[in-house]
Amino acid sequence: MRCTILAAAFVSAFAQSGAPPFAGTWTAALAGQTYAQLELKATGGSIGGQIRLGAIHFDREGTVEAVLQTAQDSTPTPIFDVTLCNDVLSFSRKDEDGIDCFEMQLVNGNGRLTILLNADDRAALASQGISTMQPLTLKRVAP
């Protein structure tokens, strides 16, 4: 509850001075292929938006090493349960397999998007020899 109130105060504080720091369109790309696109909008005291995620392959260190399907080839899904607490924007999205949860921080003008893995996802990655997944680096492409 406290984080939700902070999110509303955050949006209100920036409404007069321009867009909140998280607002805008953010993308992650590898070799010119966009594999993630996050659109965030601040309206009416709340933050909302949508995300597109392509298919990617990770190396053993949990870093994206190949884009198998671009974000443009995926369907945008709305985000929900958006909260801002201690400079971390948390949100979820529903896909065909369940609910995916994320956290985003701003670091040196870029977004650092962490995918919060459930036990099944961690086990699937571990079976491929991947013990962790590195955060995705998002660049703001539009305010």
* pLDDT for the residue 19: 52
- CA gap 75, 129 in Å, rounded: 29
* Euclidean distance between the first and the last CA atom of the chain, given in angstroms as a whole number: 28
On whether the CB atoms of residues 137 and 28 are closer than 8 A, the answer is yes
**Which domains does the chain possess?**
2-142 (2.40.128)
pLDDT along the chain (143 residues), means of 10: 43 46 96 98 91 96 96 97 95 92 97 95 92 95 94
Three-state secondary structure call for residue 74: coil
Q: Please, which residues have CB within 8 angstroms of residue 80's CB and are 6 or more apart in sequence?
A: 48, 91, 92, 93, 94
pTM of the model as a whole: 0.85
